[in-house]
Chain A
Amino acid sequence: MLLSINNLSVSIENKKILNNLSLEINEGEVHAIMGPNGSGKSTLSNVLAGKEEYNITSGEIKFKDKNIFDLNIEERAQEGLFLAFQYPIAIPGVSITAFLQAAMNSKLKANGGKEVDPLTFAKRLRETSNQLGFSKDVLRRSVNEGFSGGEKKRFEILQMSMLKPQLSILDETDSGLDIDALKIVTEGVNNLRSKTSSCLIITHYQRLLDQIAPDYVHVLAKGRIVKSGGKSIAEDIELSGYKKFG
């Protein structure tokens, strides 16, 4: 089991957001979580990534058999958890290269490896960015600075491709993407699929799931998973919305 969430309840400022949520993801599986606005989707992804303003009132999360709450934000990332942000922020002055190199080296060092040599890193970055349709000029910029909405989302996928996480959480990565960008993003995600890496896709729309066929689809409503099943759930939601899930 890669990720196991048991009866997780989370609140923020005394407002309960997640309510006894349980979910299990095995290695190699792709899960999708769909749900109406305010159902707790982003809270779930933020709690998994380690955002500190949430109050965990009950439950447990195990990632690679480790209690995730014993790991701080960077330790979770170093263990192989990756969050593709819904709204990636710009960090003026921090160059993409310095940022990605620092991220890769932190992960390698934490796992007892050697730092990546600059030439190998540059080659990998060039290849990956080509696949994701980034020009050389874009890579000279600061992290997300001056990026369009689509470029920001593609840059999240570029980071994911470079860091090769074991569990990728895509928080509404499809929102704000045009058809072409969506195709690039989904190709990037599909390229990463393997027997050992898993994916948790949070989305409102079926169109993303058409291109990344998930193994399981879950419906999140009022802070808990109310229905789980195959891809047909997404088709059902596309036709009749979330009303019946209360």
Chain B
Amino acid sequence: MENIQNIYDTNIKSILGGNLDYFRNYRQEIIKNFALDHQLIQDNESTKHIDRNVLNNLNFKINQSSLNYKHSNKDKLDSSIIVKNGIDYSFINLNNKSVIINPLNSDFDLLINKLEKNKDLFKDDYIVNLNSIFLNSGFDFTLKENANLRTIISYENDQPDSTVYAKNFLNIKKNSKLLLIERFVNQTRSNSNIINYFELEEGSEVIHLVIQNNSNESNIQFTSHASCHKNSVFNQFVFNSGDVSLRNHHYANLIGEHSEANLKGIFLAGKKQIIDNKTNINHLNHSCSSNQTYKGVLTDKAKASYLSKTFVDKQAQKTDGYQLSKGILLSEDAYFHSKPELKIFADDVKCSHGSTIGPFDNEEIFYLRTRGINNKDAKSLLIKAFCQDLLSKIKDVSYSNEADTLIDEWLMSHIN
């Protein structure tokens, strides 16, 4: 891997705010304090479970164009954000009274403000630091008070080797509801390192539904952080059935009392894919609840990890926290590492975790086959049931239908 400083110097003109003092200092501080070299990748906790091939072959062809955007209103279409190659933004049906949305290059003072605010989040995360150094994409979004919006973000990369380092800031004002579907369906060789920062004000609710179905070599490192204020609810569901190795790291801070965060996901992987999952919820106030549940189906030589953590601060009494990981291993070479962690400093809490990983229950397969259902269909039926357990609770029909279809497609090509 090339020296990060050299790559940064070469690309400085196409990186957001590259010529401004604040950004130069901000990035130099990261580079100085966090020696981004090859050895570090080996040792750093944040890259312990990632596909090393992806990191070692990271392409740093930062797009030389600057961020463009256009607003348009189209009848009969949902509101949506289309991001092409990380730099061309189309905001469809978002030019309305309840939403403010702008790409990050439209107001650098605002961006500085946001970066300062989130400076201490994920300080030691190699992938996040790469994102901060090479930041070349992203938007700032505000959903105003008492609003209700369903919108879709689609990432479309059609330029080979396009490299996207994006930060999206999503502010959900008081008593608003946002249903955000984020779709990664790319076929072109590319790398997307995307971080979402959600700020949920009092009484607000976010349902964040993610579809990841990228083909091989269309890499994703996807990170999110939700700050949840009083009585707010953050529900996230990440569905991944693509052919590519990827990293999903998602965090929530329950700052206000009676706030709630649920970070859930399903991943299906085969061949030599490496799926790196992590969720982390910090209970920082009383009477909050959380659920971290990831389920995976692995075949061939696929490897996955799921690290989950519930931290309960000493003042976070009446915490209700739950963690679960479940995995089905369809081949002897498939591997799933699960590590649930609890750190509890309050005494009046209800926290639990569980993990079940293994091959199919032969008795279940036998039962189904005695009813005439062949081995392949029996396995498919059980995998679908395994996924439905979580998917059936998602109320957005178009999302769950798309996930269902992707499960069927995955089963067709991976089960025999």
Contact = CB atoms under 8 A, between A and B. Distances in A.
Given A91-B382, A106-B377, A142-B385, A159 B371 contact: yes
Nearest to A84: B370
Contacts, number: 74
Contact of A89 (B367, B372, B386): B367
A70 to B, nearest CB: 16
A74 B367 contact: no
A110 B370 CA distance: 14
A73 B366 contact: yes
Nearest to B381: A94
Contacts of A93: 382, 384-386, 388-389
B266 to A, nearest CB: 12
A77 B374 CA distance: 10
Nearest to B374: A74
B179 to A, nearest CB: 25
A78 B374 CA distance: 10
Interface string A56-84: 00000000000000001110111000110
Contacts of B373: 74, 99, 102-103, 106
A49 B365 CA distance: 13
Interface in B194-232: none
B369 interface: yes
B369 A92 contact: no
A73 B369 contact: yes
B328 to A, nearest CB: 12
A83 B385 contact: no
Nearest to A87: B363
A51 to B, nearest CB: 6
Contacts of A95: 385
Contacts of B389: 92-93
A163 interface: yes
Given A91-B367, A94-B382, A103 B388 contact: no
Interface string A90-118: 01111100110011001100100000000
A175 to B, nearest CB: 18
A88 interface: yes
Interface residues of B, number: 21
A98 B381 CA distance: 9
Given A74-B375, A92-B389, A99 B381 contact: yes
B368 interface: yes
A72 B369 CA distance: 9
Contacts of A89: 361, 363-364, 367
Contacts of A78: 372
A102 B377 contact: yes
A205 interface: no
B382 A163 contact: no
A159 B370 CA distance: 11
Contacts of A242: none
B5 to A, nearest CB: 52
Nearest to B380: A102
A85 B385 CA distance: 22
A99 B388 CA distance: 14
Nearest to B369: A73
Contacts of B377: 102, 106
A95 B389 CA distance: 11
Residue among B367, B375, B386 with the highest chain A CB neighbour number at 10 A: B367
A214 interface: no
B293 to A, nearest CB: 14
Given A92-B389, A99-B381, A163 B372 contact: yes
Contact of A77 (B369, B381, B382, B385): B369
A50 interface: yes
Contacts of A73: 366, 369-370
Interface string B341-363: 00000000000000000000101
A142 B368 CA distance: 13
A168 to B, nearest CB: 12
Interface in B313-329: none
Interface string B387-416: 011000000000000000000000000000
A83 B364 CA distance: 14
B364 A103 contact: no
B367 A77 contact: no
A49 B371 CA distance: 10
A82 B370 CA distance: 7
A82 B369 CA distance: 11
Interface string A174-197: 000000000000000000000000
Contacts of A102: 371, 373, 377, 381
Ranked nearest first, the 5 interchain pairs of A and B with the lowest CB-CB distance are: A93-B385, A77-B372, A103-B371, A73-B369, A106-B372
Interface of A: 49-51, 72-74, 76-78, 82-83, 85, 88-89, 91-95, 98-99, 102-103, 106-107, 110, 142, 159, 163
28 contacts: A72-B369, A72-B375, A73-B366, A74-B369, A74-B373, A74-B374, A76-B370, A77-B371, A78-B372, A82-B370, A82-B371, A85-B367, A85-B370, A89-B363, A91-B367, A91-B368, A91-B382, A92-B389, A94-B368, A102-B377, A102-B381, A103-B373, A106-B372, A106-B373, A106-B374, A106-B377, A107-B372, A110-B372
Given A51-B366, A73-B366, A74-B375, 6 more contacts: A73-B369, A74-B369, A74-B370, A89-B364, A92-B385, A103-B373
